[in-house]
Amino acid sequence: MKTSHRNSILFVALILLLAALFVFSGVKILESVLPGREIVATDPQRVKTIIREGKEYFPRQDLTTIMLLGTDGTGELTASNSYNNKASADLVALMIFDESAKEFRVLNLNRDTMMDIPVLGINGKQAGTVYAQLAVSHNYGSGLGDSCENTRKAVSDFLYGLPIDYYFAMNVDGIGILNDGVGGVEVTVEEDFSQVAPELKQGQTMVLTGEQAYAFLRSRMNVGSQLNTSRMARHKQYLEAFVGAFRNALTEDASFFTTLWGELSSRAVTDCNPMVMNQLSTQYKDYTFMGCISPEGENRLGQEFYEFYPDEEALDALILELFYQEKN
């Protein structure tokens, strides 16, 4: 199955989850899994000790990993009538909380990454795999929790069976709401947007409105290299600026996120219930944000769309660095 290069969503899911970790709103969250559907989560036992150049490495036990999905769907989240839906996962990232160092970072995976994707059959259970872009993984399932679980399995398998503790997904409608909710986000426009948003002048530093943030973060065609890797660099810049804007807004009004979440909750799905969110916010609210990192690799033009192929040696080294430690 192929997926079009729809304009990528910003780090909406990441932004919202950051907010949830910093302040507990206590409001209702959509059910994460449809009743009656069997979901098989990542099995931690699949993560084994590995050997590289004669050295033995074992999985770190002091990490909590949360998968963040930004889908290109619109409107309130509702289940599709089949085990296929139209919302691709345009943003796939992992928040990795290091409980020893008291810090966290973000591993941002290119939505064009080619990998084996689980395929769900008519009964909602895995019926095989297809080699396709990572974004396609969310198209299997109803578009709610089962689609998120399918993406979680694809990402876990890609990263040597890495356990992923929670997921949080949100669609594209939240871009302007989130941006304006913190009073705008300041960025430097480094690419030529003249063909898609002339008000975003190259070289200018500006505080984005919601509409401008939408263009800055979603545009791909006729901007820069037009590749998703270029757009991901804008996501990184925006995210790091958003964290500061969010903290400023929270300082001025500790209750502002309750209102913000009220506007966004019908467009989000997660397996973090309010009790889990409260626990996470208490445990991680003072951790230092260490920024974003992405696997190295190569963009290649496939039969119809660009595809991203990670550098296997670099990816192996990155997985060891982030999720393993050497056995003494």
- pLDDT at residue 37 tops 60: no
Q: Measured over all CA atoms, what is the biggest interatomic distance in the chain, rounded to whole angstroms? A: 57
Q: Report the alpha-carbon distance of residue 92 to residue 13 in Å, rounded.
A: 9
Q: Report the alpha-carbon distance of residue 64 to residue 232 in Å, rounded.
A: 24
Q: How confident is the model at residue 155 (pLDDT cuts 50, 70, 90)?
A: very high
Q: Report the alpha-carbon distance of residue 139 to residue 158 in Å, rounded.
A: 18
Mean pLDDT of 3-20: 41
HSE, side-chain direction, 13 A CA sphere, residue 164: 31
User: Among 98-102, 211-215, 218-222, 247-251, where is mean pLDDT lowest?
Assistant: 247-251
**Which segments within the chain are labelled E, that is strand?**
50-52, 55-59, 63-71, 89-98, 103-109, 114-120, 126-133, 166-171, 185-188, 205-208, 268-270, 288-293, 297-301, 306-310, 324-326
Q: Report the alpha-carbon distance of residue 153 to residue 162 in Å, rounded.
A: 9
- pLDDT at residue 312 tops 90: yes
- At residue 80, φ and ψ (nearest 5 deg) are -75, 170
DSSP 8-class letter at 252: H
Q: Report the alpha-carbon distance of residue 166 to residue 73 in Å, rounded.
A: 21
Does 191 or 172 have the greater pLDDT score?
191
Q: Report the alpha-carbon distance of residue 136 to residue 86 in Å, rounded.
A: 9
User: Among 76-85, 111-120, 214-223, 260-269, where is mean pLDDT lowest?
Assistant: 260-269
pLDDT at res. 47: 57
Q: How confident is the model at residue 6 (pLDDT cuts 50, 70, 90)?
A: very low
- Mean pLDDT, the chain, rounded, equals 81
- pLDDT at residue 112 tops 90: yes
User: Among 221-225, 258-262, 321-325, where is mean pLDDT lowest?
Assistant: 258-262
Q: Report the alpha-carbon distance of residue 115 to residue 93 in Å, rounded.
A: 15
Mean pLDDT of 47-64: 89
Q: Buried (b) or exposed (e) across 32-45, using 16+ Cβ within 10 A? A: bbeeebebeebeee
Question: Any idea where the domains of the chain sit in the sequence?
Answer: 12-174+254-326
- pLDDT at residue 209 tops 70: yes
User: Does residue 190 contact residue 225 with C-beta atoms inside 8 Å?
Assistant: no
pLDDT at res. 254: 67
pLDDT at res. 42: 42
Does 20 or 203 have the greater pLDDT score?
203
Q: How confident is the model at residue 74 (pLDDT cuts 50, 70, 90)?
A: confident
User: Among 42-51, 209-218, 241-250, 255-264, where is mean pLDDT lowest?
Assistant: 42-51
pLDDT at res. 274: 67
Q: How confident is the model at residue 8 (pLDDT cuts 50, 70, 90)?
A: very low
Question: ∠ at Cα 237 (94, 145), nearest 5°?
Answer: 30
In 3-state terms, what secondary structure has residue 21? Answer: helix
In 3-state terms, what secondary structure has residue 115? Answer: strand
What is the percentage of the chain residues whose pLDDT exceeds 70? Answer: 84
Does 233 or 246 have the greater pLDDT score?
233
The fold for domain 12-174+254-326 equals Nucleotidyltransferase; domain 5 (3.30.420)
